[in-house]
Amino acid sequence: MKKRKLLSVVLLLLVAFHHALSQNLKLNNLEYFETQGVNVLVYNNLFTGGFNDEKNAGIELIHHGVRTAQGGAVRLSNTPEQWDLVPNISNRKVNRASKTIEATLRYEDYDFDSRVVVTAKGKGIEIAVYLDKPVPKALEGSAGFNLEFLPSQYWQKAYLMDGRYNRFPRYVVGSTTTKPNSAKPKQYKGYKTADDRGTGKYIDPLPLETGRTFLLAPDDPSRLVKITSPEVDLMLFDGRMLAQNGWFVVRSLLPAGKTGKVLTWTVEPHAIEGWIREPNIGFSQVGYLPAQPKVAVIELDKKDKPRANSSLYKIGDDGQATKVFSGNIAPWGNYYKYNYVKFDFSSVKTPGIYYIKYGNLKTNNFLIQDNVYDKITDATSDIWIPIHMDHMAVNEAYRVWHGEPFKEGYRQAPPNTDHFDLHAQGPMTDTKYKALELIPGLNVGGFFDAGDFDIETGSNISVVQNFVRTWESFKPLRDQTFVDQKQRYVDLHRPDGTPDVLQFIEHGTLNLVAQAEIVGHMTQTLSNSVLDNYHHLGDAASLTDGLPYNPKLGPYEVASDGRSSGVKDDLWAFTSRNPSLDLNAATMFAAASRALKGYNDDLSARALQQSKRLLKESSELLASRPQDSLGRRGRADIATNLQLYVSTGEKQYGDRFQQLLWPALDRNVNIFLLTALDAIPHLDASFKEKLRPYVVKYQAYLNGLEKDNPYGVPIGLGNWAGSGDVTNFGTTICFASEYFPEIINKSHAYKAANYLYGCHPYHNFSLVATVGATRPKAVFYGNNRADFSFIPGNVAPGLLFRKPDHFENYDDWPFFWGQNEGTIGGNTQYLIFGSAFKNLVK
């Protein structure tokens, strides 16, 4: 009996031991640490040299399916902002035998190197910082190790520092101090991130707490993390004190005068026993037409056993739900982190309100109805686009979206100016204007680029082209916006007798023609001269004082006549000439001239004149230059000749178009097919027949997409998510299936729509604000992002890929432009797709 009891105890201990081992973090084949429910990435994603601290790099924690911590690295401030210096990761070593990942971090400006070694230790990791040379004198008290935690996943949760209880604040609360600007470590390219209003001091947040043992969210097991630091203090900061996109920062200063192992942290993320990620049932939040294919894609944890079937329920007029269909689950396979299965309910065609049930999981409801797609572009065209009209006051009912911005105009950017938004003025101005001289006449028309207020010329060129394509292909007569160029006033939901798209074409062309006529060619951008303006959130009209800068006045002084000020807030025109950009503009001007004829004949004639001039001049400038590897110059040249042929009927342009097109299609049919399809209505039948083999080749590409991912659409894996690729793909399908229905099945266009409206990885929210009435995304990266809000009709970039295997799209944290920022280019591209798709389904 005693032997049996002893054996039972031993068995229980062994089971407990093996369970504990199963919870330990292990170094996997993708070179990060994991256990079920916890992934710790160690410099799988690196800091960029462009926008610096994008909150997407360093040591990162994916905690029960959500990336909740990032930025683990030696940093030079308590709460780093976007333009603060980031370390260069010069090498990264993975040692499977010792279960370590090591990286060398370097700050070139200070000749400062550190080594960060991360080691799996039971259920957590040990982070150790090594120095071969002491911290440079200039960085003593500034250099420290930081790890940042996502505020939206922690606010209103508890924390303990050395046993002292508190809560993470929902809104930034804390204390700051000010220090001389000379004491602040360098920032990227020397930019300051806040206007000190002449005080000569910067704001430095003070810690909310200090101690040696820090416990995050003991009241939420899914977010519970324990951090201990035996050698140096841990400090908790609220990064939102300086910038709305700041995170909660846990930080320890590196000791001065020491070398070797100078800091050790133990970080233990809690893993819920037996945790399995809830299935993500991807379906269209907008709904489905009765006759269209209807396939839900279900994303599963790889440890979740797929069910045999799923069901569809219909909600009756009495509010009761009835099962109307049950179908088998079809396996698709693994795609990066998760396993995918499909549920086909295409046979259900009766109009009504439905939801999907998979196991115990119910989706929100959706519609099957003949008119579900009728309004998919209305919010974008009625609200988002007019709100982004520059140099206009925009009103909506009781709300003013923004006053008239940038009345003071634009100044010539000085030579050899490097800009924080990745622009640069070369050694010459390439204009007749001197450095900082006012360039008259540019403060007219144009569209804000995105979540900021600059006019990106390349984007605005594509925007006008998108409007023209929409107008010429579908002639949308929708009129819901009052636009008065003389008053510089826009009023939403107020018809004025003119189709809105025609007024949008005019508004964009006004600015671009002004650039061509006044500057002599296209500017790179009309943008902010100081960083404090660039990251402005709020009314664009309050970004500057509306008065031209007068160097004879003191700082912030206003002239006695009220017509100038001593505030250096005027925007700059970056004017280095780019003949490829001029070529793109020539394409757009040719198209715009057609659309404007009969509506604004003067602007139409000016646009056509600039198109011909820029085509001639840019072609001469490009003649001695090789084409880039992506064929961008070739694509612009092809499109320009097509648009000029359509506008003028001159044979020389049509011949040149075809001369360039066929070799381009041989190189890459995916890139050039849509341009070729645009030509079909304007050329004879032989052109269409010659194009047919290329459409067959494109169909083979579509077949490959079915094997590439479970959604059957192109999914981008870069630093900008792929909604734009999907809308362009969908647009190509719409036109190709119209002209070649025997080759291209329009069902592929439904896949593009489904993806945008909820059938995609990570979650099933519609990526278009307010479109998909039951569950569209709630927050976006727009100019009102500080309010955790959105502008209706905005299209999110979508599912951002984080190396090596994680897709994400935050709907509780807007401050990631690569996944949440709607752009004027992307949203007008969506306008084309939505218009083409509505035309296709009718």
The CA distance from 453 to 446, in Å, is 11
Count the helix, strand and coil residues of the chain and give each as a percent rounded to the nearest 5. 30, 25, 45
Please confirm, yes or no, whether 706 is among the known catalytic residues.
Answer: no
- Greatest C-alpha distance within the chain: 104
The burial class, CB within 10 Å (0-12 / 13-18 / 19+), for 642 is buried
For residue 368, what are the β-bridge partners? 288, 352
Please confirm, yes or no, whether 689 is among the known catalytic residues.
Answer: no
The CA distance from 528 to 522, in Å, is 17
Rg (CA), the chain: 29
For residue 263, what are the β-bridge partners? 129
Q: Are 263 and 145 in contact (CB under 8 A)?
A: yes
Q: Which of 572, 569, 553, 573 is nearest to 561 (CA)?
A: 553
**Structure token pair of residue 451:** 């979540």
**Structure token pair of residue 88:** 């260069």
Q: Are 807 and 801 in contact (CB under 8 A)?
A: yes
The CA distance from 393 to 702, in Å, is 45
Q: What separation in angstroms does the CA of 645 have from each of 602, 641, 661?
A: 20, 6, 14
Residues in the chain: 842
The CA distance from 819 to 66, in Å, is 15
How many Cβ atoms are within 10 Å of 230's Cβ, its own excluded? 10
- Describe the crossing of helices 747-756 and 824-841 by its angle, rounded to 10 degrees: 140
User: Long-range contacts of range 351-356, CB-CB < 8 Å, 24 or more positions apart?
Assistant: 351/290, 352/314, 352/315, 353/314, 353/315, 354/312, 354/313, 354/314, 354/315, 354/324, 355/312, 355/313, 355/315, 355/321, 356/281, 356/283, 356/296, 356/310, 356/311, 356/312, 356/313
Q: Are 785 and 814 in contact (CB under 8 A)?
A: yes
Q: Are 121 and 266 in contact (CB under 8 A)?
A: yes
Q: Which of 196, 374, 437, 812 is catalytic?
A: 812
Q: Are 80 and 185 in contact (CB under 8 A)?
A: no
The CA distance from 620 to 219, in Å, is 68
Q: Which residues contact 781 (CB under 8 A, 6 or more apart)?
A: 450, 451, 814, 815, 816, 817, 820, 821, 822
Catalytic residue set: 812, 821
